[in-house]
Structure 1
Amino acid sequence: MLADPPFGFVPFDARRSTKPRRTGLSMVIDDGLPLTYLRGVFELAAPYIDLIKIKTGTARLYPRDHLMRKLAMCEEFQIRPFLGGQFHEYVFAMLGEAALPRFYAEARDLGIRTIEISDNTVPLTPEQRRCQISAAVASGLSVFGEVGSKETLSNPALLVEQAEVCLSAGAELVLVEAAELVENGRVRRDSLEVLKRGLPQDRIMIELPGPWISGVKSCDIEEMKKILFAEFGPDINLANIGVTTIYDTEAQRVGLGTGGPLHS
């Protein structure tokens, strides 16, 4: 908690946890943020950021020293970096299963301790999903599984089945692809309800959609936040938060934002 915060007499939702957290995780995306900019973000907002995803395969484009300095900065502010799952998909698609141990070793050498394994654009069978997660865990990495496709809308029951495969194979956390949760920009409430009933809330993370998904506008993202906090409470695990909206998102978590006070 902040010492002597401004307006300290004003209460907010006491259900909101503080770092280090097991629930209520907030993840932002690094799509090539400069080091000086990122340090400024962390100096202000680190209490409200738990995870940062190195988006898609962008780690391949950095100078090695620059990437390692970025990773070290994340550790300095107690923000956990991880490689996005589409990089893993790319390696698997272009170089095959045999290249994955080298990918895991390179991640460890760089100081990366967590990767995401997904099948957004390169489909995996349940057995491939299980084997890839198990192999990455056996190599010494933590794994975030991701379920769902960027290209098709799945039966939400299938997302639950895929998440169960991820967790049984050793995934620490399962991210639910945002494209599966919106249709024409609107939240698929039936899918949210299936996830809420079918999976442990401390082991899943809901992704927010973005303009990379057809039909999604900024107002749709804000509406989805309101729905998620109303349905799941302030300590839902939430991914894909824009670095410029982390404060606004935290305000919404505790009832200080545009959605108004939350009710338990």
Structure 2
Amino acid sequence: MNYTLKHIPERTQKPREVGLTMMMDKGMSVRQVEDVLETAGDYIDVVKLGWATSYVTPNLEKKLQVYKSAGIPVYFGGTLFEAFVVRNQFEDYLRVLDKYKMTFAEVSDGSIEMPHEQKCEYIRRLSQQVTVLSEVGSKDASKIMPPYMWIELMQAELEAGAWKVIGEAREAGNVGLFRSSGEVREGLVKEILHSIPYEKIIWEAPQKAQQVWFIKLIGPNVNLGNIAPQEVIPLETIRLGLRGDTFDFFLPKE
């Protein structure tokens, strides 16, 4: 840090297992990635190339190398995995992971119907060669799962070999964990936390109010995802109580 302040909450240090910030890259250029990493690289733990943007992104290999040189793992969005699976091209997906030397992968079923045991089998198979993040929740706002189902799915996917489970919210933060207004489904989150360790969950929380809510509930070292590149540093200040939303939250009460 550039100077000393008292009563700043302790943050975990990279490489982190908890307190992760997952940034979403929705098609940035190589130069844009370099600029973001120059200022925010210390606060980015993992990067998702949103949905299937990697299919159409120019200079993909060069961009991946920039992230790799910074020590930041990257993975293709779960929608790309689903796009291969729905076309019966899972083996081709494995070859893509090999081609680009990917060390992380996301398994999701937010856009397709898939028996859960089949999803867990994909997790088991992929976890033999890469670190797997599995996403729970549908991208269809009309599909509302009860809390017990979220818990059962998360537990099964962790047991199948997922490193972390991701709570679905889409890039807008208006489905899954959240109502269409962006409001957190508080009861759902608290029920999940009764059964699943917070360290094992990445909560997709692209909106500032959502980030603030999770930090106040769990603390500065909550895992948060789908963070826009320009919001990485603002999020870090929220984690540290250096923005109005959490300004007095970590200060001594007396």
Q: TM-score, normalised by structure 1?
A: 0.87
4+ aligned runs moved over 3 Å, structure 1: none
Which residue is 1:166 aligned to?
Answer: 157
Amino acid of the structure 2 residue aligned with 1:142? T
Amino acid of the structure 2 residue aligned with 1:161? E
Change in 2 beyond 3 A, CA 1:12/1:111: farther
- Could you say what secondary structure the match of 1:146 adopts? strand
Instruction: String of CA shifts for 1:179-216, please: whole Å, max 9, x gaps.
Output: 2111132111101101211101111100015xxxxxxx
How many residue pairs align between the two structures?
Answer: 242
- Could you say what secondary structure the match of 1:205 adopts? strand
Which residue is 1:86 aligned to?
Answer: 79
Identity %: 26
Mapped partners of 1:42, 1:243: distance in 2? 9
Instruction: String of CA shifts for 1:44-95, please: whole Å, max 9, x gaps.
Output: 10111111101111111134xx1111111111112110111011111111x2
**How far apart are 1:155 and its partner, in Å?**
0.9
Mapped partners of 2:147, 2:66: distance in 1? 37
Q: Is 1:101 paired with 2:91?
A: yes
Which residue is 1:218 aligned to?
Answer: none
Instruction: String of CA shifts for 1:229-252, please: whole Å, max 9, x gaps.
Output: 000000000001111111111000
**How far apart are 1:12 and its partner, in Å?**
4.7
Amino acid of the structure 2 residue aligned with 1:205? I
> 1:73 pairs with 60, 66, 71, which one?
66
Which residue is 1:187 aligned to?
Answer: 184
Mapped partners of 2:233, 2:130: distance in 1? 30
Consecutive unaligned residues in structure 1, runs of 5 or more: 210-220
Q: Is 1:141 paired with 2:130?
A: yes
Q: TM-score, normalised by structure 2?
A: 0.91
Change in 2 beyond 3 A, CA 1:155/1:247: same
Q: Is 1:261 paired with 2:254?
A: no
Which residue is 2:196 aligned to?
Answer: 199
Which residue is 2:172 aligned to?
Answer: none
Amino acid of the structure 1 residue aligned with 2:118? Q
- Could you say what secondary structure the match of 2:166 adopts? strand
Which residue is 2:40 aligned to?
Answer: 45
Mapped partners of 2:35, 2:78: distance in 1? 27
